[in-house]
A and B are shown apart, each in its own frame.
Chain A
Amino acid sequence: MSAIKIDSVVKNYGSLRVLHGLDLDIKEGEFVSLLGPSGCGKSTLLYCVAGLEDINGGRILFDDRDIAGLNSRERNVALVFQDYALYPHMTVRENIAFPLRRQKLDKETVKGQVTWASETLGLTELLDRMPSDLSGGQRQRVAVGRAIVRNPAALLMDEPLSNLDAALRVHMRTEIKQLSRELGLTVLFVTHDQEEAMVMSDRIAVLSNGHLQQFGEPMEIYRNPANRFVAQFIGSPKMNMITSADQNGVLLGLRPHDLTPATQQDDQDAFELTGELALIEPAGPQFFLDVIVNGQMIKATTDDIGSFTTGSEIKLSVPADRVYRFDAGTGDALSGTSISASSRKNTTP
């Protein structure tokens, strides 16, 4: 296992720049997610680390060693692909053994490693099957097995869970996370699913448009988003944005989970909004409320639907320290989340 340092990495496709000088410092044994919408450059960055793409500027260091001149076979990284990329003409056993065979290891070592990997992942029963005979979840396991079998410097994963159905995806999340803990793997995990990134990662790097937006622990990113993009990308349903009435050029961000129907006991500092309840969406533990406030749809939540009916007026409130403030022009978060007292009664978004 290695620490990975990504130092102002630049990547161009022709005249199009897709990575604009990224910096990331990944510790040994750390689980880091690269999170962003499709096309943000997260997979490209992964491929650059894997050596499948050349970089046009900056450096990538494994344990302080620049790996620029090395091609992918010399970097000792493992990659789990979105479509698993299992070799269709080989059995599960041959698939897992393939990278070891390429290293010209002796038969005993190969056998021992394959046995270990297949036991770790519960693949022992499947070793003589062909990939086409496996279910999606089993294929995924084989792909992981092929990746961990040779003790790679880093385990790179390119949206490995996105082809699985919802239940299996949640299950595999836990399994992969546990595995990475047990083996002390340095993992770079590419995903566009913010929830996946939140539950699995030690740290998350949020990317957009080839720029690093924020790099931090999951809850830090959730609670202290560096800018409007991160704020809206993390958390579901996504953060409401309204323009501030008393400060020009300031956007207020309100997370639906923080925004609830106002009650009498509310904090003096609470920030309040009034609007028309347009839609109630039951979502199991909670209800989502769609409220039209001055022509804008605002999402709120409540545990108890009470006597609310669609079409009626509703007052929403959010604790003042949960109101995020952003510069309307740059989108950067503004320090100091408190709201002045005068805006307390202000219902104009």
Chain B
Amino acid sequence: MANLKFWSSSKISGRSGWPRTPPFAYLATLPTILVVLLVVGFPLAYSLWLAAHKSNPIIKKTKFVGFDNFLTVLSDQSFWNAFYNTAYFVGFSLVLTTLLGIVIALVLHKSFSGRGFMRSVMLLPWAMAPVTIGILWSFIYAGDVGTLNALLHDIGLSAWTTAWLGDGNRALTLVSLTHVWNQTPLTALLILAGLQSMPVSLHKAAMLDGAGPMTRFFKITLPWLKPTLLFITIIATINALMAFDIIWTMTKGGPGESTTVLAWLGYVYSFKFMKLGLGAAMLYILTALSFCLAIIYVLVLGPRYSKQNKTASIDVADSGMSFRTPRPHTTQAPALKRPILSPEARKVLSSFGLWVMVILIFMWSAFPVLLLGIMSITPPSDLIRIPPSVIPSRLTFENFETVLFPGWSGSNQTVQGTSPEITVLAKRVPLSIKNSLIVGAVTVSIALALTPFAGYAFARWPRSRAIQAGLWGMLFTRMTPALVLLLPFFVLYRIIGIDDTRTGLIVAHLSILLPLFAWMMKSTFESVPRSLDSAAKIDGCSHFQMMIRVMLPVIRPGLMAAAIFGFLVSWNEFLFAVVLTSNPQTQTIPVILSSFLAQVRYHEYGPMFAASVVSILPPVIVAFVFQRYLVQGALSGAVKG
């Protein structure tokens, strides 16, 4: 018993147990916190103000109405219609992304040659901009000349061709399915990370204990993944609730109101009907809904903490070894069973099954993307011929010439079926690429300059109350959907005169990237041992020198990951861009793509697909070349969109 006292009282890291927070910690977080307050906190407060007022934008009069806007929204029939559509959309995508994600992750967790390549392929639908996805799939489902109809026609099933998005119920399902296609890689990625963190010995032990593959999956893999699944459920729900880009590009809420979800309705109220108060109220209801669901998930699926204290370790050495329960009975080992199939046969069968799954995953992920590529090098006239066909008559790069070098093709040759007023849009593509690059680069640079310091403080002084408050603030802003910020940005930008500028768009993108980056930096620094900080200080560094000379170089992979991930987020971002910019000098590539769609009746499909391919180039390059960084970024930042 002698040592009991000494061992048991040795827990130093008690709740109150950390040294005081140095001023450096506050200084490090301050810039990030201030900017976030400015670009998120203030607009949020303003939109809350909007939600409590009735405003008339024409006579510029506002009146305080309290909760009236909320009550009006809740008593609106179209709200409840949208509510049911949203419930269907969310339920459908949640179930399907989770099931598909688990299957894909399990397959890509196996080792086979080409696994790295397949992981990159798997990521494609998620790395692409939702706008591009919407364009691609809306053309696939299109009524007259759509790819699906063309395919049916080619294989002699002309009778089955139909306007796929024409029927209300089917349209909602197809839009949900497109969302599933976009979001499944994220789920698969997170589950894959969960699988990789699972100790191998766990499965080996279960195998020796006689558990078959199914038992092991349900009794070991699934319980191990439970925290991951909880997280995925929350993320997937929020992403589905806030899905906007795909609706915008594919159906615009139609036909009728059959694909009008809450996010779309809030957008329509605010920006079509200019009922800012109602729109803000609706978006707040949507936000509240996502928070409530998140809380419910945590309560239902979350970890249960037992209240038991950990008991002090027992002093084994002094206790002797005389007290033993005799063994009650000996269990008989089960007789060895002869397997039905020979080991060789099973090997062949399982490898065959694996390759079937791999090919299916490849087709699911890559086929639509390849289709987009083919359509971009198909002559525009092929895409609108009747009867439709998927087989191009010839291959050409003229679409790319049109969008990348508009001056060129205009003077050298006249593209068939291209009238002068159509190329106006194509001419904007190079400029929009430049805008996208500038906005992405500047946003990422600002975020990278500020957030490592904040992330460092978040990681190193998690017990300081002020730092904790900042961290919770970041979490809250990260969970707050961009939709809610859209309205105040729109109004405030007009007031301060940065509407329709790249600056305005950069500010808007910062509202997404800053909380995301702060979080990523925090988890990056958490993996850096504290002894490195101490070593740097002892070797003569001030806090600031330590950051510059030691910490930033050490976390360079994390910075790379954040930069690449953040650039993609900005490059793909559509909602802010489409609402906050309206002139070609400031519009980014997703906005131009969506304008192609608005003019779809002019049959400018060729340039549209070429521009789409250009827009997915950065995501595709990242998915294949920087897959590691993309995955790391997604896992540490987890996750926007």
- The reply to whether the CB of B639 lies closer than 8 angstroms to some CB of chain A is no
Question: Do B535 and A79 have beta carbons less than 8 Å apart?
Answer: yes
Q: Closest residue of chain A to B13, judged by CB? A: A13
A-facing residues in B513-554 (Cβ within 8 Å): 529, 531-532, 534-542, 545, 550, 553-554
Cβ–Cβ contact B2 & A13, under 8 A? no
Q: Are A232 and B2 in contact (CB under 8 A)?
A: yes
Given known contacts A73-B538, A89-B556, is B18 in contact with A14 (CB within 8 Å)?
A: yes
Contacts A13-B18, A37-B10, A295-B320 hold; do A73 and B531 have CB atoms under 8 A apart? no
Instruction: Kindly name the residue among A14, A228, A292 whose own CB sees the greatest number of chain B CB atoms within 10 A.
Output: A14
Cβ of A15 under 8 Å from chain B: yes
**Given the contacts A79-B535, A232-B2, A85 and B529 also touching, CB distance less than 8 Å:** yes
Instruction: Tell me whether B542 and A73 are in contact (CB under 8 A).
Output: yes
A73 touches B6 (CB 8 A): no
Q: Are the C-beta atoms of A228 and B529 separated by less than 8 Å? A: no
Are A16 and B16 closer than 8 Å at their CB atoms? yes
B326 on the interface (CB 8 Å rule)?
Answer: no
- B17: CB under 8 A from chain A? yes
- In the bound complex, residues from chain B placing their C-beta under 8 Å from that of A51 are 537-538
Residues of chain A with a CB closer than 8 A to B6's CB: 37, 40, 208-209, 229
Using A18-B12, A39-B11, A228-B2 as known contacts, say yes or no to A53 and B535 having CB atoms under 8 A apart. Answer: no
User: Does B10 contact A40, Cβ atoms closer than 8 Å?
Assistant: yes
Residue among B5, B6, B20 with the highest chain A CB neighbour number at 10 A: B6
Kindly report which residue of chain B lies nearest to residue A50, judged by CB atoms.
Answer: B538
Nearest CB of chain B from residue A15's CB, rounded to whole Å:
6
- Tell me if A79 and B534 are in contact (CB < 8 A): yes
Given A89-B556, A238-B317, also A54-B532 (CB < 8 A)? no
- Provide the bound-state CA to CA distance between A292 and B320, in Å: 9
User: Interface readout for B12-35 with A: 1 if CB under 8 Å, 0 if not?
Assistant: 111111111000000000000000
Judge whether A171 is part of the interface by a CB distance below 8 angstroms. no
Partner pick for B537 among A72, A297, A331, CB 8 A cutoff: A72
CA of A16 to CA of B15, assembled, Å: 10
Inside 8 A of B117's CB, which chain A residues have their CB? none
Q: A residues 271-322 with Cβ under 8 Å of B? A: 292, 295-297
Complex Cα–Cα for A296 and B323 (A)? 12
Asked if A82 is at the interface of the complex by the 8 Å CB criterion, the answer is yes
Give the docked Cα–Cα distance between A37 and B540 (Å).
31
Please report the total number of B residues contacting A with Cβ < 8 Å.
39
Q: Which residue of B lies closest to A82 (CB)?
A: B531
- Provide the bound-state CA to CA distance between A13 and B19, in Å: 7
Is A98's CB under 8 angstroms from B539's CB?
Answer: yes
Q: Which size bracket describes the interface of A in this complex? A: 35 or more
Also in contact, A87 and B538, with CB within 8 A (given A54-B19, A232-B2): no
Nearest Cβ distance between residue B552 and chain A, in whole angstroms? 9
Is A137's beta carbon under 8 Å from chain B? no
In the assembled complex, the Cα of A296 lies from the Cα of B318 at a distance in Å of 8
Q: Judging by beta carbons under 8 Å apart, are B12 and A83 in contact?
A: no
Inside 8 A of B529's CB, which chain A residues have their CB? 83, 85
Q: Is the CB of A85 within 8 A of B532?
A: yes
Q: Is B200's CB within 8 Å of the partner chain A? A: no
B12 pairs with A14, CB closer than 8 A: no
Q: Which of chain A's residues has its CB closest to B537's CB? A: A72
Q: Which A residues are in CB contact (< 8 Å) with B3?
A: 37, 229, 232
Closest residue of A by beta carbon distance from B322: A295
**A120 interface hit (Cβ, 8 Å):** no
Taking CB atoms, residues of chain B closer than 8 Å to A79 are 534-535, 538
**Contact indicator per residue, chain A 48-78, by CB within 8 Å of chain B (1) or not (0):** 0011111000000000000000011100011
A16-B12, A39-B11 known; A53-B19 Cβ under 8 A: yes
Which residues of chain B are within 8 angstroms of A103 by Cβ–Cβ distance?
540
Is A38's CB within 8 Å of the partner chain B? yes
In contact, A50 and B534 (Cβ under 8 angstroms)? yes
Q: How far is the CA of A99 from the CA of B541 in the complex (A)?
A: 8
Distance to closest chain A CB from B570 (angstroms): 28
A-facing residues in B287-344 (Cβ within 8 Å): 317-318, 320-322
For residue A134, give the distance in angstroms from its CB to the closest CB of chain B: 16
Among B12, B534, B538, B542, the residue within 8 A (CB) of A13 is B12
Cα distance, A82 to B534, chains bound together (Å)? 12
B18 close to A99 (CB less than 8 A):
no
Chain B residues closer than 8 Å to A296, beta-carbon distance: 320
A99-B12 in contact given A14-B17, A16-B17, A228-B2 (Cβ < 8 Å) = no
Contact A87 B534 (CB under 8 A): no
Q: How far is the CA of A297 from the CA of B536 in the complex (A)?
A: 50
Interface residues of A (CB under 8 A from B): 13-16, 18, 37-40, 44, 47, 50-54, 71-73, 77-79, 81-85, 87-90, 98-99, 102-103, 146, 208-209, 228-229, 232, 238, 241, 292, 295-297, 331
**Beyond known contacts A16-B16, A99-B540, A241-B2: 8 more, CB 8 A cutoff:** A14-B14, A37-B6, A71-B537, A81-B534, A85-B534, A238-B317, A292-B320, A297-B321
